[in-house]
Structure 1
Amino acid sequence: MPRPLVALGTSDPLVVLRGLEAALAGGPALLPVAPDAPALPTPPPADVRQGVALVVETSGSTGTGKRVALSSEALLAGAAAADAALGGPGGWVLALPTHYIAGLNVLTRSITAGTEPAVVPPGHFDAAAFADAADRLVTGPAAPRRYTSLVPVQLARVLDDERATAALAGFDAVLVGGQATPAALRERALGVGVRVVTTYGASETSGGCVYDGTPLGTVRTALDDGELLLSGPMLAEGYLDDDRRTAAAFVERDNARWYRTGDAATLDDGRVQVLGRLDDVVISGGEKVQLGAVERLVRDLPGQDGAVVTRRSSGEWGEVPVVVTERPLDLDTVREHVGSALGRAARPTAVVLVERMPMLPTGKPDRRAVQALASD
């Protein structure tokens, strides 16, 4: 029997919260839609399969749009695994958009904990508004802990504000994900008493399912020719009305269902280190250069935790890495820093200084727009 799919705008996160509560309880499936999000090429269906509770639209930072279909069981399994890893349920400050899986996870975990999230007003993130929300957060005996979830750029802004930093240091855990967290930013946060937990996951895994490199209790990991595969009860049902893409991303292996992440990674005694997108590679002078590895090194430099490394065509080398940043950066310094770790071919050939980094509503860099800036 089909289940109605209800689209809700995300301008009021508490309306999305009520819609998600209904969906988890067996009511209409929920499709959160950002007011300013570009429409996908095809409209959503009016109905979905009975097993689907939540549909997350994602355009990605580089790929084409898709609608990820998640069941109640997957969402609740992810919430339970996270609570077990963090030390139990608690109250949450919501600082992320609720059309984004990490923001929806905050709502799911609030629902399962029986708490009401304290909401940072949607729109441009403001550290003072975050501190205000932290002041409003109410916890109780059944869920006494304090949590929030941020992307790296938000964490950096909080750390630039004394009052917001003091508030953040009072949380039991601060989940930071959505993209790689620069080591320097993490160390800066830990140095002022902020309990940072770096997360890795995707809409297809009901959000973060690897914390500080360690898979949550019900998560299995594997490598297939260097690509990270994830398995567990929090996997999505697939993509709405896209059997071809579903079959490519979700595969049967070792009597289990796995999600092909598209990320290059290493596994060391079960610990996951993500190296970057498999397709985010340039061939420079005949050598393969992983742009994610270059970007991590650039972000370790002082003041460069928001820098992005992209590609530019080169008549001599084919393609070359280019750094795009909001803060001045000496090219010779970055070339020496990267080259000493990754070799000559990985050295960026230019630094492009921009007034403001193009960003997606999720808080991630808009990599297509960044590449266009580098090409220009």
Structure 2
Amino acid sequence: MPIPHDLPAAIDRTLIGESILLLPQDRSGSIAEADPALWLGSGPAPALILHTSGSTGAAKAVALSADALTTSARATERFLAGPGRWYLTLPVNHIAGFQVELRARLAGADPVRSSAPSFTAAAFAEEVAPLLARTDGAPTYTSLVPTQLHRILADPAATKAAAGFTAILLGGAAISPALLTAAEAAGLSIVRTYGMSETAGGCVYDGRPFDGVSVTITDAGTIDLTGPVVAGAYVRIGPDGTITPVDSPALTGSGATRTIHTSDLGRIENGVLSVLGRVDDIIVSGGTNVSPHALEATLLPQWQSHGIAEVLVTSVPDDEWGQRIVALVRLGADPDDAVARLTRSPVELGAHLRGLLPESVGGLLPREVIVVDEIPNRSIGKPDRRRAAETARNVLSSVTEK
């Protein structure tokens, strides 16, 4: 999305309470400022209002305080190597992109902003070169989503450029172990992040929460996050521009005890959080609960050497199973002969790829595997599981009709 030239100054104004920064719901919208007098809630007006990605339903407007935003930004600096120079390739209407702008502003230098209309490895390699060449010894950072990292690692020039960053924040979607292994082998310094709009961005890095942030696993297995980075409220913006807080059971508490009750499943082992996927994404097939995230993390490392670059697990209705497991895959540059030969037959490709799995991989597996040009993603890089399910239904219906 176009970034107004005065965004850094607008960030300054909102941090000192002179305005409320309003980010658009989609990339085609415009960034705006509102008078703090339009805030109808108790206490100080928020600094920023942005929208959730809408991956689990309708997008919600989230109000974040200046304290939550700057606490998050400073915590990132402490976790990494201090204030540094940033490269921005994420849309600023999402919290991950906005935080790159904020961290750069607090560090005293605007980020290098990608000018490409959409992300490509070639543009990445070209644009980061001058940033890495003129840092004056300052650390260099960028923030990516897994889809972008996949493309970088498929391009030698982009991979070399990425290896020049002091650290690369990686989040926004499930991260496969195979992707991390490939990045490490290429010399990239990856920091896995977990967070959301309601936590002012990532607040758990490499499985460990920021200082002041606590992580709790509920009896239902979902993740609760508590601390000063948590949003003050969801809000409604009226036709007259007024901004009103909206009560929600997902956001509770006040001050440093604010808590976001997420729909993410997780576990904590030795103080390290592992995110296991979303409750909403669980597929029930033949009475068995299947986590798409966990299955993707199992399948991709086994299939990569045969030319599969990405995997997204979904399902289609089935008379016997209720839901039948299906996988969408994107091929790499050099799939093996058998995979290339079977791309037009989801059933045969599924049988072939299942046969490549070791006996240790059990449980329900995809019956059909559908080759797609691109894995369905939302604008920030999160998998679009609704569109994936529609794609699977349409493709398999077409195959059946033939």
Amino acid at match of 2:106: T
Q: Which structure 1 residue ranges, 5 or more long, are not aligned?
A: 1-9, 38-44
User: Structure 1 193/14 Cα, relative in aligned 2: closer, same or farther at 3 Å?
Assistant: farther
1:274 and 1:204 map into 2 onto residues whose CA distance is 17
Partner AA of 1:36 in structure 2: S
- The whole-number CA distance in structure 2 between the counterparts of 1:217 and 1:333 is 48
The one of 313, 328, 338 aligned to 1:324: 328
Q: Give the direction of change, closer, same or farther, for the CA distance of 1:365–1:318 in structure 2 (3 Å limit).
A: same
- Does residue 1:235 correspond to 2:230, yes or no? yes
Match of 1:158 in 2: 152
1:60-82, Cα deviation, whole Å (9 max, x unpaired): 22321111111110000001111
Match of 2:183? Answer: 189
Offset, 1:373: 0.7
Aligned pairs for 1:250-261 (under 5 A) are 250-252=251-253, 256-261=257-262
CA 1:305/1:209 → structure 2, altered by over 3 Å: closer, same or farther? farther
Structure 2 CA distance for aligned equivalents of residues 245 and 322 of structure 1 = 38
Could you tell me which residue of structure 1 aligns to residue 125 of structure 2? 131
Partner of 2:28: 36
Helix, strand or coil for the counterpart of 2:378?
coil
Q: Could you say which structure has the larger radius of gyration?
A: 2
Equivalent residue for 2:388, pick from 355, 370, 373:
370
Paired with 1:235 and 1:338, the residues of 2 have a C-alpha distance of: 42
Residue 239 (structure 1) shift: 0.8
Preserved CA contact (<8 Å) 1:200 1:209: yes
Specify the alignment match of 1:355 in structure 2: 373
What one-letter code is carried by the residue in structure 2 that aligns with 1:77?
T
Aligned to 2:17: 26
Residue 148 of structure 1 corresponds to 142
CA distance in structure 2 between the partners assigned to 1:13 and 1:158 by the alignment: 28
Tell me the percent identity. Answer: 38
Could you report, residue by residue, the CA deviation over 1:89-114 in whole angstroms, capped at 9, with x for unpaired residues?
10000011111111011011011111
* Matches for 1:246-285 after TM superposition, within 5 Å: 246-252=247-253, 256-285=257-286
- Quickly say closer, same or farther: Cα 1:250–1:182, change in 2 above 3 A: same
Matches within 5 A, 1:328-339: 330-332=349-351, 334-335=353-354
Change (3 A) 1:252 1:71: closer
Unaligned runs of 5+ in 2: 30-35, 238-243, 332-338, 344-348, 395-402
1:314 aligns with 2:318: yes
Q: 1:207 to 1:13 in 2, by over 3 A?
A: farther
> How many corresponding residue pairs?
357
TM-score, normalising length: structure 1? 0.87
Q: Which amino acid is the alignment partner of residue 279 of structure 1?
A: D
Cα distance between partner residues in 2 of 1:178 and 1:35: 16
**8 Å Cα contact 1:276-1:292 kept in structure 2:** yes
Q: Is the contact made by 1:176 and 1:197 (CA closer than 8 Å) also made in structure 2?
A: yes
Match of 1:47 among 33, 38, 45: 38
- Name the SS of the counterpart of 1:107 in structure 2: helix
- Provide the secondary structure at the position in 2 that maps to 1:248: coil
Q: Counterpart amino acid of 2:385?
A: R
Q: Residue in 2 aligned with 1:3?
A: none
